[in-house]
C-alpha cells in the first residue's frame, strides 16, 4: 500500500501544482488559497506545509472546519476567535467540534495535531495561556472519551502572532501507535507545577499502512524527565533536543522493525524563539540530518518561557 498522505514542505510559488492536496497550511499570510497561521518564516524561500494525498480529494467546510478527505485520511483546520480569559473554554469547544466531526465522518483517530496559541506565554488572571489551553484541550478530549494513555496523538503547541486559536490535524479510520520517550516523562503525567491539567499529547505517532510506516514526532525540546535543561544556552538546548529526537526514533525503529534512514526524514519544523538563533540551529541540524533534509523555520514563542527552540519531525520508514 502506498502512503495515503505524505507531509511535504513546498515552495509557496509552486505548491498549487502539487496533485491531490488533502490540506495545506501557509505561515505568514503568503497564500490566500489555503489556511494561514500568522507567523514569521525564517528561511530563504517561503514554504507551505502540504499534505499530499495519493488520490482525488473531497473538500468541504463543516461546522467551521476546513476539511479535505479521501477514503483513508482526513485533514482539518479550525481557527477559533477568543478573548484572553476564555482560552480554556475555547480550546475545549474546539476539540469537541473537531472530535465530533472526525467521529461523524468515520475518522475518529488523530494521527497528528498542531496547535497555535496567541500570546502563549502571557499570564492572564494568574494562569499562563499555555496552561489555559492545556486545561481546555484536556477537558475536550476527556469529554470525547479519549484514553490518555492510549489515544493521544503526536502534537505541537506553540505560539503565533495571530488572534485566533488555530488547530490543524490529520485523522484516520484506524489509529496509530502512541510512542513515548524513555528520556522524558510522558507529558500527560507531568506534575501539577506545569498546569492544572497535563498536556494531552504523546511523543510520537507511528502509523502503519500495510508494509509502509510513517512517524510523526511531536514538538520536541530541551526537556529531560519533566524539567527544562540548559536555560539560556541555545547550542546545548539543540543538542539535548537532538538526543530526544534520536531517542524517539530509536523507540519507533524498535516497534517498526526498521530504521529511520537519513533520507527517510522528510520534514523538520523548527520553532525558534529568537531569530538570531536560526543559523546556529540550521547548522547543527544539517550536521546531524544531512544537508538535504527539508526544514521549515518559524519564529515562535515556545510553551515554556525558558525554551529557546522546539523541533518536530516527520519520517517515512521504508
Phi, psi at 197, each rounded to 5° = -130, 140
Nearer to ligand 3EB, 169 or 201 (CB): 201
Query: In angstroms, rounded to a whole number, what is the distance separating the alpha carbons of residues 225 and 130?
Result: 20
* Residue 67 lies near ligand 3EB (rule: CB under 6 A): no
- Looking from the CA of 271 toward its CB, the CA atoms found within 13 Å total 27
C-alpha cell at 114: 498542531
* Residue 156 lies near ligand 3EB (rule: CB under 6 A): yes
* Residue 218 lies near ligand 3EB (rule: CB under 6 A): yes
Neighbours of 144 (CB within 10 A): 17
Query: In angstroms, rounded to a whole number, what is the distance separating the alpha carbons of residues 240 and 260?
Result: 19
Choose among 161, 136, 122: nearest CA to 41: 161
Choose among 194, 210, 205: nearest CA to 252: 205
* Residue 201 lies near ligand 3EB (rule: CB under 6 A): yes
* Residue 160 lies near ligand 3EB (rule: CB under 6 A): no
Q: Which residue has the cell 525558534?
A: 272
* Residue 303 lies near ligand 3EB (rule: CB under 6 A): yes
In the complex, the smallest distance separating the C-beta of residue 144 from ligand 3EB, rounded to whole angstroms, is: 16
Nearer to ligand 3EB, 4 or 99 (CB): 99
The residue count for binding ligand 3EB (CB under 6 A) is 13
Choose among 17, 40, 16, 18: nearest CA to 29: 40
In the complex, the smallest distance separating the C-beta of residue 71 from ligand 3EB, rounded to whole angstroms, is: 29
Query: In angstroms, rounded to a whole number, what is the distance separating the alpha carbons of residues 46 and 255?
Result: 35
Residue in 49, 310, 312, 316 annotated catalytic: 310
Candidates 31, 171, 187, 217; binder of ligand 3EB (CB under 6 A) is 187
Nearer to ligand 3EB, 4 or 162 (CB): 162
Piece of 54-62, 87-95, 138-146, 151-159 that binds ligand 3EB (CB under 6 A): 151-159
Piece of 18-26, 217-225, 273-281, 290-298 that binds ligand 3EB (CB under 6 A): 217-225
Piece of 18-26, 219-227, 263-271, 287-295 that binds ligand 3EB (CB under 6 A): 219-227
Neighbours of 244 (CB within 10 A): 22
Residue pair 262/313 in contact (Cβ under 8 Å)? The answer is no
Candidates 179, 199, 216, 317; binder of ligand 3EB (CB under 6 A) is 199
83, burial (CB in 10 Å: exposed 0-12, middle 13-18, buried 19+): exposed
For residue 125, indicate whether it is catalytic: no
* Residue 221 lies near ligand 3EB (rule: CB under 6 A): yes
* 245, 231, 163, 58 alpha-carbon torsion, rounded to 10°: 0
In the complex, the smallest distance separating the C-beta of residue 181 from ligand 3EB, rounded to whole angstroms, is: 9
Residues with catalytic roles: 310
Q: Which residues contribute to the site for ligand 3EB (CB under 6 A)?
A: 115, 134, 155-157, 187, 199, 201, 218-219, 221, 223, 303
Amino acid at each position: 500500500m502506498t502512503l495515503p498522505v505524505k507531509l511535504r514542505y513546498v515552495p509557496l510559488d509552486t505548491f498549487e501544482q502539487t496533485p491531490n492536496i488533502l490540506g495545506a497550511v501557509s505561515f505568514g499570510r503568503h497564500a490566500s488559497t489555503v489556511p494561514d497561521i500568522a507567523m514569521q518564516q525564517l528561511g530563504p524561500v517561503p514554504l507551505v506545509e502540504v499534505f499530499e494525498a495519493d488520490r482525488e480529494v473531497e473538500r468541504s467546510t463543516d461546522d467551521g472546519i476546513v476539511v479535505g478527505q479521501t477514503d483513508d485520511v482526513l485533514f482539518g483546520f479550525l481557527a477559533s476567535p477568543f478573548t484572553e480569559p476564555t482560552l480554556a473554554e475555547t480550546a475545549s469547544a474546539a476539540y469537541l467540534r473537531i472530535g465530533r466531526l472526525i467521529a461523524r465522518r468515520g475518522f475518529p483517530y488523530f494521527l497528528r495535531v498542531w496547535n497555535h496559541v496567541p500570546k502563549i506565554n502571557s499570564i492572564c488572571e494568574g494562569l499562563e495561556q499555555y496552561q489555559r489551553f492545556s486545561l481546555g484541550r484536556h477537558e475536550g478530549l476527556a469529554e470525547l472519551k479519549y484514553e490518555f494513555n492510549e489515544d493521544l496523538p503526536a502534537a505541537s503547541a506553540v505560539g503565533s502572532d495571530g488572534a485566533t486559536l488555530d488547530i490543524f490535524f490529520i485523522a484516520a479510520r484506524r489509529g496509530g501507535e502512541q510512542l513515548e520517550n524513555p528520556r522524558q516523562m510522558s507529558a500527560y503525567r507531568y506534575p501539577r507545577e506545569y498546569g492544572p491539567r497535563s498536556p494531552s499529547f504523546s511523543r510520537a505517532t507511528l502509523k502503519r499502512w500495510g508494509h509502509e510506516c510513517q512517524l510523526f514526532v511531536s514538538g520536541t525540546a530541551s526537556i529531560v524527565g519533566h524539567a527544562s535543561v540548559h536555560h539560556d544556552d541555545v547550542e546545548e538546548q539543540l543538542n539535548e533536543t537532538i538526543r530526544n529526537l534520536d531517542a524517539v526514533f530509536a523507540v519507533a525503529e524498535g516497534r517498526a522493525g526498521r530504521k529511520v534512514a537519513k533520507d527517510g526524514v522528510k520534514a523538520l519544523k523548527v520553532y525558534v524563539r529568537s531569530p538570531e538563533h536560526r543559523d546556529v540551529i540550521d547548522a547543527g541540524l544539517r550536521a546531524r540530518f544531512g544537508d538535504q533534509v527539508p526544514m521549515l523555520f518559524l519564529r515562535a514563542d515556545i510553551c515554556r518561557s525558558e525554551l529557546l527552540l522546539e523541533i518536530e519531525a516527520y519520517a517515512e520508514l521504508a
